[in-house]
Structure 1
Amino acid sequence: MSPDGEPVWCGLDIGTTHIKCVLVGSDGSLLGIAKTDTPVGTDGVGPCHDPEEIRRSAEAVMCRAQSAARVPTVVQAIGVTSVGEEGVPLGRNGEVLYPAIAWYERRPSSSARQWLTQHPGEEIFAVTGLHPDLGLTVFKLLWLKSERPGVWKACDRWLGIADYVMWKWTGRAGMSYGHASRTALFDLAAGGWRAEWVPEVLPRGLDALPPLLPGGGIVGLLRKDAVPGLVTAADTPVVATGLDHIVGAYAAQVTEPGSVLDSMGTAEALIAPVTVEQFRSASYERGVDFGVAMAPDRLVAIAALQSGAGVSSIRRLFAGRDAAALAELDQRTAAVSVGANGLCYVPPRVRSGQGGAFFGHRFDHGAEHMTRAVMEGWSLAAADALADLDAAASDVVCIGGGSDVTFWMQMKASILGRPIRRIRTPEIVAVGAALLARRATQADDVPERGVAQVDLTPPVDAWVAAYAELQPAFLERAASVHGLHAGHVYP
């Protein structure tokens, strides 16, 4: 007998900082929402995630979201999204051999250096759409090969962090094309694993990798009592949705060329839908990555920045984690004039690993000036990266925690010289996962058009001309630190 309650679709987002869950009703309304801190540990070398801790935290937050719902609910399907790059090596009996090395952890190794001599950056980009970066999956596997050879040799199967959770719930393995395209083992043009490369980084070759699914593909059915306390329908599909940024773009309806998503999380990603032909003609020197959106023939260009982490760190440096102190710092920062009283900040560049720099620091610059300069620096860097996407005139849509800071949004709009759309729906990435779960299980049209709550942030008239004057000086200083790459500094 089926339980009584409002039918809902569950979206789970395993993020860098938090694990979030939403329950979306038949009419697209949010009936339940909850989040918890993402548990982080270490292997003695750097940050890692215990996949079982991730699973338990995910299950707890799903139950909390259901408890928080204003009416009794019954989950019809579960969509799962997560960060990319990181995953779990499993032994022959399905045992976890090693924790998931955090996606943002970059570990050099002799195996990586050797592999890069065999496959230089231009070749990697031509095949995968990615620039060599030690954060990518392939380099985490090569680190295991060099530094944990016993683990590497015993690896019978490798699953992404979202895939691991879904496998534990269903007993079946599956990975989204979007997540696969962040491994540097996926051939974008061919639409599948790069068969010649996989045996170089996994001892069992292709047999160790999961089958691939489009965004919204069903991995399997939730096993009975797999998530204790969660009220579900009799047969509850578990759905692979894709990379977190891409799932957010889906929910924000940034799915066609001509619009750009600015996903302002811990990492900032500028995402522009593109054609396969645009990828094939792209220049390696531009520094823009490419990946899969919902299906192999639907691609995106991605310009990555570290603005969320950069702004958060400077705010915590001056105000700690106290909400009142942070609010007071934000108020003072917003009152500082454009240009931060002559203080210019050039952010780090992810591609080169080169650090950032302050220019023009004086004794009378306080915390509010340094915070303003950091926010301006990241915003100017994002504008340069946006131009590098060949999308300077496109519609820009912002999601993520950073978009909640109104004066930061005003700063971005003023630098671009046009309004920016801001999605106000909470946990929009998890909402996207829920919508994809519904799309996978319902023949009728998903009511996603009414889900995203949008407002418009216009430029501040007095700031537009000031930033237009400031931008060339910023780019000149940024080029002096990082150099120019196909006419741009960032990404």
Structure 2
Amino acid sequence: MTGAATLGLDFGTGSGRVVMIDLNTGGGVTEHTVGYQRGFLDETTAPQMKLAPNSAIQDPADFIHAAEKLLSWAARAAADLGFEIHPIGISATSCTILPTLLDGTPLLHTPAFAGRPHAFAKLWKHHAADHYAKRIAAARPSFLGRYNNQTSSEWSLAKAWQTMAEDPALWQATERWIDAGDWIVWQLTGRETRSASHAGCKNHWQPDFGGYPEAGSLEAIQPGLGSWLDKLAPPHPLGTSAGPLTRRWQDVTGIGSAALVGVAMVDAEAAVLGSDVSTPGILVAAAGTSTCHMSLSAQPTPVAGIESLVYGGAVDGLYDYSTGQAASGDMLAWLSRMLAFGGRSSPEAVLETLVQELEGSVSPSPIQVMDWWNGCRTPLGQADLGGIVANIKTTTTPVEIYRAMLEAGAMGMRYAYDLHRQAGPIHEIRITGGMARFPAIMQIYADVMGQTVRANSTVLGSARGAAISAAKAAEWVVPIILGYTDYEPRESERYGEHYRQYCRHIEQASASTS
């Protein structure tokens, strides 16, 4: 062996990814992606299950299968390239959450609960719990103070209440209620080692406010809801090692016991480290199926519209501020499916054509779009809102709609940027994730934002961040070597009126739902 490497595994909505980082240089060595075997299910893809509207569930076996494939591939690649694998980091979507037994066995994989909808993992974008989220927020509990006085159907407590109300036998049998990222670490190491990242982001855990909410405040909302706390466990700070791979995982993957697994991270918070950000003043946007925007501060400063304010979720010792757009990539995937309807082309081919045609499109689209295909996360926190496409004509082209969707996504980021600046000065914007690889898309973002945006040279920013976090837990120091492509706005006010119209839609929606 000639070198040492750290691995970062990122479990997204449709696939798992791994990136290998040279511990001595900080450079990316290689990367790989594995699609899930079964994929997520909803009322349209699994009509036989009779799921509630706006459900999004998944078999957790997908994560184990992907982890086996990714780690085995990485072991072979490392051997071929002369590297020995040391730390392994895990990031995952938040809050994709599942019920298990005390030993970590998913209830879905037990004879008593096999096939029952609430035994599956509920994906981050599971919105069938929206009714319960609204009832929690309506009670105005104090523990929502750092969460814009709201909670979401995407978050742990609302999903727990839905499970308790709709399948009480399953809820009673649930001994652990755990985020997928933390569960994957548990499976790899044989130890339940939860993370401050997942606990703080969407489980309402605040270490300087006493940790998780008090049982009394939950019981006041709904008798029995305090049982949620019995199914959680204390989280561990970033920089904690959960231990080596179990013997089974060593045998299956070919990775030795020198590889220590770090506690998991929320993918958006991992993207902060993956973008080499550890101090305030930089907005990091992870733009993929959804988009999350993160910034850091030494002090907690609540700002209306900021989705969450968490201590130690991205960088130990600092508060991170989070906002998000729930469908920035999902709405593009929806458009590609609509255009591919009938089978003459595939959604992937449609998207490739749209990106190519976008290269020759320079003017703002005449179409107006609100990017709410999965609801409005920031600033309204309303999962039941729908997307808007306006000013369609018989001469409208597909690329005009596609461009308008991208412009709306960029306007949502501009709105979030303005919110983050209320918590502290922001002097730089860094973008990672799948969209960062397309120059034409990044140019639209720069034009809409009216300022420079920096695209990360490693689009797998969350996987890289998980690798860096695990390396720190194992007391390795990873050099910073990332490069960026800067995109300058072509006109500072090219989208001024478009953005004002976007803001007016938010104001109107806020007034109608208040």
Normalised by the length of structure 2, the TM-score is 0.83
- Structure 1 residues 467, 94: closer, same or farther in 2, change over 3 A? closer
Which of 334, 359, 363 aligns to 1:338? It is 363
Pick from 321, 331, 347 the counterpart of residue 301 of structure 1. 321
User: Kindly tell me: are residues 414 and 157 of structure 1, through their superposed partners in 2, closer, same or farther at Cα, counting changes over 3 Å?
Assistant: same
Task: From 245, 252, 269, give the equivalent of 1:246.
Answer: 269
| Aligned residues with identical type, % of pairs | 19
1:284-326 CA distance string (max 9 Å, x none): xx35432342467422111111212123322443355465543
Q: Which residue of 1 aligns with 2:129?
A: 108
Q: 1:31 offset after TM fit, Å?
A: 2.7
Structure 2 portions without partners, runs of 5+: 42-48, 108-118
Residue 373 (structure 1) shift: 1.5
* CA deviation after TM superposition for structure 1 residue 112, in Å: 5.7
Distance 2:359 2:321 in 1: 32
Distance 1:205 1:473 in 2: 42
Q: 1:37 to 1:191 in 2, by over 3 A?
A: farther
Q: Which amino acid aligns with 2:11?
A: I
Q: Match for 1:36: what amino acid?
A: V
Q: In structure 2, the residue corresponding to 1:16 is in which secondary structure?
A: coil
Separation in structure 2 between the aligned mates of residue 112 and residue 148 of structure 1, nearest angstrom: 17
Contact 2:182-2:192 within 8 A present in 1 as well: yes
Distance 1:476 1:129 in 2: 21
1:404 equivalenced with 2:429 (yes/no): no
In structure 1, the residue matched to 2:486 is: 456
| Cα pair distance change 1:108/1:211, threshold 3 Å | closer
Give the letter for the 1:370 counterpart.
Answer: I
- Among 412, 420, 430, the alignment partner of 1:381 is 412
C-alpha distance in 1 between matches for 2:203 and 2:410? 29
Residue identity matched to 1:100: A
1:57 counterpart residue number: 66
Matched, 1:47 2:23: no
CA shift, 1:91, in A, is 2.4
SS at match of 2:412: helix
What displacement does 1:218 show? 1.0
**Map of 1:472 onto structure 2:** 500
Matched, 1:7 2:4: yes
Q: CA deviation at 1:136?
A: 0.5
Which segments of 5 or more consecutive residues in structure 1 lack a partner in the other structure?
487-491
The offset of 1:177, in angstroms, is: 0.8
Q: Is the 8 A contact 2:128 2:153 kept in 1?
A: yes
Deviation, structure 1 residue 113: 6.3
- CA–CA distance in structure 2, aligned partners of residues 115 and 326 of structure 1: 39
Instruction: Figure out how many residues of one structure are paired with residues of the other and give that number.
Output: 471
Give the Cα separation in 2 of the matches to 1:131 and 1:231.
45
Tell me if the contact between 2:272 and 2:314 (Cα under 8 Å) persists in the aligned partners.
no
Q: 1:215–1:170: structure 2 CA closer, same or farther, 3 Å change rule?
A: same
Partner of 2:35: 37
Correspondence 1:217 to 2:215 = no
**1:88–1:477: structure 2 CA closer, same or farther, 3 Å change rule?**
closer
Map residues 196-211 of structure 1 onto 2, 5 A cutoff: 196=215, 206-211=229-234
205 and 262 in structure 1: CA distance in 2 versus 1, 3 angstrom threshold: closer
Greater mean deviation of Cα atoms: 80-89 or 345-354: 345-354
- Tell me which residue corresponds to 1:489: none
Amino acid at match of 1:335: G
- Structure 2: how far apart are the matches of 1:23 and 1:476? 45
C-alpha spacing 1:476/1:418, structure 2 compared with 1 (3 Å):
same
Aligned counterparts of 1:198 and 1:173: Cα–Cα separation in 2: 25
Equivalence for 2:456: 423
CA 1:191–1:294: 2 relative to 1, 3 Å: farther
| Pick aligned residue for 1:21 from 18, 22, 32 | 18
Deviations 1:129-176 (A, max 9, x none): 662211111111111101111111112222221221221222211111
Partner of 1:260: 283
Alpha carbons 2:336, 2:348 under 8 Å: kept: no
Q: CA RMSD in A?
A: 2.9
User: Whole-Å Cα distance in 2 between the matches of residues 415 and 485 of structure 1?
Assistant: 27
Superposition pairs for residues 73-222 of structure 1, below 5 Å?
73-92=83-102, 94-97=104-107, 98-108=119-129, 115-116=136-137, 119-120=139-140, 123-126=142-145, 128=147, 131-187=150-206, 189-190=208-209, 192-196=211-215, 206-222=229-245
Instruction: Note the alpha carbon deviations across 1:317-362, whole angstroms, 9 max, x for none.
Output: 335546554333223234334232x322223223233223233222
The one-letter amino acid of 2:39's match is V
- Aligned partner of 2:387 among 356, 363, 381: 356
Secondary structure of the corresponding residue to residue 494 of structure 2: helix
After alignment, is 293-302 or 411-420 more displaced?
Answer: 293-302
CA distance in 2, matches of 1:326, 1:290: 35
Per-residue deviation, 1:241: 3.7
Match of 2:81, SS state, is coil
